[in-house]
Amino acid sequence: MKQKLQQLAKILEQKSKELNLFSAKDRELLEEKHFPDALAIMDFWKPENGAKVLDLGSGGGIPGLPLALAYPGVEFTLSDARQKKMEAMDDIKKEMELENVNIVSGRFEEIAHMPDFREQFDFVTARAVAPLPTLLEYAAGFLKPGGRLFAWKGRSSDKELVESKAARGQLGMDFVEAHKYELAGEGERYIMVFEKTSKLPEQFPRRDGVPKAKPL
């Protein structure tokens, strides 16, 4: 696993120089910061083999790629609106022979209404994507009833949770718990867990740009 992560870091560094996946500083911190942040979920998440996970907004491949290495029996779909970045993820998938990784590019609001993706996933992961009211609307379109969203958050987690109350009610996304951990150089961080309790009304997610511009 360690060797595979080192290989992934080298490939991501090179791709980032070409496509600016990460800032110059963050390229140097992949193994010290970004990978440990992604893999903090392993302290409590034990998905069954065959589970389907959508990594939402995975332009730089985190947390999706490190998690795909950690859980080879789980099927990961990496998604992002930026096609060039997802083409880079596809190149990395092939170079590292990650057979449990799929790639899709497009707007979340559109993909979530496609039959192959709507309410088809057991889990959604999201790191540095959007504030909770917007993120919940994106994620709810992909999760099966009973599925769970894992949202990586920092110090704003309590404030965002309060602000997401209306969205949670309309989308059927119940807050379950927040797992706190320490990340070197960053202090306290949280992985917030939400469970989808019912089928999503057909109007959600709303058309392109609306969940961000007018959060529920």
**pLDDT digit string, tens, across residues 95-127:** 999 999 999 999 999 999 999 999 999 999 999
| Predicted TM-score of the model (pTM) | 0.95
Specify the CATH number for the domain of residue 123.
3.40.50.150
58-92: per-residue pLDDT in tens? 988 999 999 999 999 999 999 999 999 999 999 99
For the ranges 13-17, 57-61, 160-164, the one whose mean pLDDT is highest: 160-164
Q: Total structural domains in the chain?
A: 1
| Domain boundaries, position 88 | 36-213
In a domain, 59, yes or no: yes
Amino acid sitting at position 152 = W
In a domain, 11, yes or no: no
In a domain, 203, yes or no: yes
In a domain, 206, yes or no: yes
Q: Does residue 17 carry a pLDDT above 90?
A: no
Q: Does residue 26 carry a pLDDT above 90?
A: no
Provide CB contacts within 8 A for 132, sequence distance 6+. 151, 153, 160, 161, 163, 164, 167, 192
- Roughly how many angstroms between the first and final C-alpha of the chain, as a whole number? 41
